[in-house]
Amino acid sequence: MTGFVSFVGSGPGDPELLTLKAVARLQSADAVLFDDLSSAVLGHARPGADLVAVGKRAGRPSPTQAHVSQLLVEYARTGIRVVRLKSGDAGMFGRLEEEIVALRTAGIPFEIIPGISAASAAAAAAQIPLTRRLSARRVQFVTGHDVTGDLPEQRNMAALADPEATTVVFMPKRTFPALAASLIEHGLSPDTPALIAENIGHPDQSLTRSTIADLAEQLQAGFSSKPALIFYGPLMDAE
């Protein structure tokens, strides 16, 4: 027998930001494989469903991606309905491709249900637009680290240091001081407005406005383990 897998974006953590389709899939699933940052929405899962934590967090013991993909295949091969619950939007820095490849190789059908990205949720919480006529016609989402946890070596610095783009850095805390130094070296003003958004979609979310230079200095001195995004560009001075 072959089951069916629904990749579901859980949004940033607030259960009220789930889509109706996401709720329907959770209510009908026999098993839910969920990321750590998605656990707040598990109240919508069907009573009796298997709930399996497969989240990966920096600096903590975590299952390998190969193990998560294999587990997903094994559950689906039993003929059940499986939800793979991913934080934010499943296609945004969520290792979705590896799991799709595993399912396709195994001949298991699937669907992808988008979720609200943490970037969109953070911008809404900060009451700022991601774009602005004339001064911010482009938005770019980038990762703050590669598979080793370091700042990615291959970076398009011309794009990243573009003063007329809104840039959102995912998983940024550890490497932002180095990124900021590189941005300034490539011509971006150290006074470029910045915003760090922590634990978006949760009751203790926080939004702190700064500049790229000051924020880099703060993070160099230390930071919490809360998941975060960093925004910088021409929009962040909006009040």
User: Which residues are catalytically annotated?
Assistant: 35, 56, 171
Question: How buried is 235 (Cβ within 10 angstroms: 0-12 exposed, 13-18 middle, 19+ buried)?
Answer: buried
114 close to 9: Cβ distance less than 8 angstroms: yes
Q: How far apart are CA 230 and CA 218, in angstroms?
A: 13
Nearest to 180 by CA among 206, 152, 161, 200: 161
CA atoms within 13 Å, Cβ hemisphere of 90:
22
Helix (H, G, I), strand (E, B) or coil at 166: strand
With both helix axes pointing from N to C terminus, report the angle between 212-221 and 176-185 in degrees, rounded to the nearest 10. 150
Backbone angles phi, psi at 203, to 5 degrees: -60, -30
Give residue 205's Cα distance to chain centre: 15
Helix (H, G, I), strand (E, B) or coil at 72: helix
